[in-house]
Chain A
Amino acid sequence: MSSASIRRIFPGFNLSVGYTLVYLSLIVLIPLAAVALKAGQLGWESFWEVISAPDVVASYRLSFGTALLAGLINAVFGLVLAWVLVRYTFFGKRFIDALVDLPFALPTAVAGIALTALYSSNGWIGQYLEPLGITVAFTPLGILVALVFIGLPFVVRTVQPVLEDMETELEEAAACLGASRWQTFRRVVLPVLLPAILTGFALAFARAIGEYGSVIFIAGNIPMVSEITPLLIITKLEQYDYEGATAIASVMLVISLLLLLVVNGLQAWTAKRTGRSR
């Protein structure tokens, strides 16, 4: 059967595909193309000047560094959380499982002011860290805390289904062959989980790089020290420097596109390794 005749089993091919493409173009593709066009008008030299200015480079370093670190923290603790939620029974498990998605549901601005209140020098957590010489609020450390918060569900939710689908046989076999529990985890369980962990890490990282709402309250926004890249776009917009804002935005867009491709590749790998779709 040719593909043309398969397609005609159902009505609505033209309508549904057409509507999808028109809506996608109007809302997403054409406005995104505006960034490329506007940045193109700038000319290579002035474009480079904007995106390599010292404060902008400092913001890349900060945004990347904190997002990477937050992703790593989430990869480790997200794995522990997913493991505990799947493998053990304990009181309050259901409640915790439901609340893991809080960062997806809680508006970022609310998360931002709540974390600032907690970690400022008179906050519940901040007051104990201050005597130890650790200042979290209004420093890069505060940005890290905010990014750990918003990235928390990603690793848990990518690892959890893979753990749930795992059969006991593999681990039983490993135990029969004399492997210790730790060896079994490292050699048998972890390789199966690895693509999912990496996918969750990449998703959390991608989200963290562009994050704005939860970060700006706790960051303090000190130039060269705690200014994230999205904040620089806002600052330039407020100064009516549309070219500058667009140039930085185009750098961020290229990075997000690359990350999107990485995530897609990782998800395909997860599917191949575990036999799950998606």
Chain B
Amino acid sequence: MSTSAALRFERSSATREPRWVKWTLITIALAFFAFFLLLPLISVFTEALRKGWDTYWQAIIDPDALSAIKLTLFAAAISVPLNLLFGVAAAWAITKFDFRGKHFLVTLIDLPFSVSPVVAGLIYVLVFGAQGWLGPWLDDHDVKIIFALPGIVLATVFVTFPFIARELIPLMEAQGREEEEAATVLGANGWQTVWRVTLPNIKWGLLYGVILCNARAMGEFGAVSVVSGHIRGITNTVPLHVEILYNEYNFAAAFAVASILALLALLTLALKSWVEWRMHAEARHIPTINIPNRG
């Protein structure tokens, strides 16, 4: 933990800096933090409330805002479970088996992180759009993907693709295969092993991945913007609704809706810190049971 590292190094004059260096560095760090993180966060809320609670409330219960919230929740409710299932399957495949091309597979899973969100939206337009590969066929069968809900879900799935797998792979790698091997030797079948051994072991990592995945899914802007078509009340997610209000110079309403997303971000960070704390608590707990006489 960070506190113990600080104590370790601050104890001896050989491993600590003079006081003035320490406080200069802390001041620089705090100033950087304040200007680039804290002030933007605070300004969201002050701008949102600039015209009073009444305007704030009106902006949020506006039918277009409510339908945007519904759409965002819906898109996240589909894309997070899809990527959760994928994350567990991919982590199981990569950490429990040895096969050729494994490292390459891990790199491919990371790929969506390095693709620009705008390009992520574009690729689905190229496949499903009016001029795309499947465009004419979809048109004949009256299926709308681009500028409709499926496109928004696809773009969201793409940008959140690696989150859960990325969290689980190193965790399951570190845990090894012994417990699952023991379960198999004792006669458990595959699903029993996953359900009773693996999942309880990775539950915090899983939750961590889900929290981050969900935050990105609800907040994605660029990719969704390309495929949404910006139809008010129909294909507008919350971040897109913020953009429309802002571009109409309706700043108070834009920041009011944005403040919901900022609250969501704060909730995400709080949950994330809590999960990290639980993980540390359990990690510290295990060695005292397993290795009682060490040392």
Q: Do the two chains belong together in a single complex? A: yes
- How close is A115's CB to chain B, nearest CB, in angstroms? 6
Q: Answer yes or no: B8 CB below 8 A from chain A CBs.
A: yes
Q: List 19 A-B contacts (CB under 8 A).
A: A10-B96, A10-B97, A10-B181, A12-B92, A21-B105, A28-B161, A31-B123, A34-B133, A35-B126, A77-B32, A85-B2, A86-B2, A89-B7, A96-B33, A125-B39, A171-B14, A210-B115, A210-B116, A260-B110
B37 contacts A102, C-beta separation under 8 Å:
yes
B29 contacts A115, C-beta separation under 8 Å:
no
Contact check: which of B8, B26, B96, B158 meets A28 at CB < 8 Å?
B158
Interface band, chain A: 35 or more
Give A256 to B115 CA distance when docked, in angstroms: 6
Give A31 to B121 CA distance when docked, in angstroms: 10
The A-B contact count (CB < 8 A) is: 315
Give A175 to B14 CA distance when docked, in angstroms: 6
A interface, CB within 8 angstroms of B: 3, 6-7, 9-13, 15-17, 19-21, 23-24, 27-32, 34-35, 38, 77, 80-81, 83-90, 93, 96-111, 113-115, 117-118, 123-125, 145, 148-149, 152, 160, 163-164, 166, 168, 171-172, 175-176, 181, 206, 209-213, 217, 230-231, 233-234, 237, 242, 245-246, 249, 252-253, 256-257, 259-260, 263-264, 277-278
Interface of A is mostly: helix
Query: Interface digits, B203-239 against A, CB 8 Å rule (1 contact, 0 not)?
Result: 0000000001001101111100110000000000011
Contact check: which of B1, B215, B238 meets A105 at CB < 8 Å?
B215
A181 contacts B86, C-beta separation under 8 Å:
no
B interface, CB within 8 angstroms of A: 1-3, 5-10, 12, 14-18, 21-22, 25-26, 28-30, 32-33, 35-41, 43-44, 47, 86, 89-90, 92-94, 96-99, 105, 107-112, 114-119, 122-127, 129, 131-133, 154, 157-158, 161, 170, 173-174, 177, 180-181, 184, 189-190, 193-194, 212, 215-216, 218-222, 225-226, 238-240, 242-243, 246, 251, 254-255, 258, 261-262, 264-266, 268-270, 272-273
B127 contacts A149, C-beta separation under 8 Å:
no
A260 contacts B114, C-beta separation under 8 Å:
yes
- How close is A66's CB to chain B, nearest CB, in angstroms? 14
A212 contacts B222, C-beta separation under 8 Å:
yes
Give A38 to B123 CA distance when docked, in angstroms: 10
A11 cross-chain contacts in B, Cβ below 8 A? 184, 189-190, 193
- How close is A65's CB to chain B, nearest CB, in angstroms? 17
B246 cross-chain contacts in A, Cβ below 8 A? 113, 217
A237 contacts B122, C-beta separation under 8 Å:
yes
Give A206 to B114 CA distance when docked, in angstroms: 6
Contact check: which of B43, B97, B126, B161 meets A117 at CB < 8 Å?
B43
